[in-house]
Copies of this chain bind each other. A is one copy, B any other.
Amino acid sequence: MSYWISGFTDGEGSFVVSVISNSTTRFGKQIFPEFVITQGAKSKKSLEEIQKFFECGSIVLNKRYDNHNEHLYRFCIRSVKDLNSKVIPFFDEFSLRTSKRNDFLFFKKVIEMMVKKEHLTVRGWNKILVLASKMNRRKKRF
C-alpha cells in the first residue's frame, strides 16, 4: 500500500502552500499548507483507503470542479501536526520519483519551519513566502 500511495501521489497528489488573508494574524495573512489528492466519484474508495492508511485528513466534495462528468472528491490533510508526524516521514521513506519530489522538499521545509514557529517572525515569514513561490502549485496566489 505504501509504495502504491507514493506512486499515486506522484500522479495525482499535490503539496500546496497557500497564503490567505486573515486579519487576526500578525501579518494580516495566514500560511495554509495542505497535502491534497483529488479523484472522481468513481474512485472515492481509493481516497478512503488513503485516509484510513494515514489515520487523518478529510474527504470533501469539491464543487469547484463539477463541470466534469462526475463529482470530484478532495482528500486533504491540513493539520500541521499530522503533516509533520505522518505525511513528511511517509514521503521521506517512500520517495516520490517525479519532479513532484521537489515540491515535497519545499513543503517539508515549510512544515519544519512552522513546527518551530518560525513563521511568526518576519524573517521566517519571508523565507516561507520564497519557498512557497518555488513550488509548482498555486503560484498565482502569491
Within 8 A of B (CB), among A8-47: 8-13, 39-40, 42-43, 45-46
Which one of B3, B42, B100 contacts A7 once the chains associate, using CB atoms below 8 Å? Answer: B3
Say if the beta carbon of A49 comes within 8 Å of chain B.
yes
The quantity of this chain's copies bound in the complex is: 2
CB–CB B40/A99 < 8 A: yes
Query: Interface residues of A: mostly helix, strand, loop or mixed?
Result: helix
- Complex: how many Å from CA A1 to CA B77? 25
**Contacting residues, chain B, for A4 (C-beta < 8 A):** 3-4, 6-7, 10, 94, 97
Which single residue of chain B is at the shortest CB-CB distance from A98?
Answer: B43
Say if the beta carbon of A5 comes within 8 Å of chain B.
yes
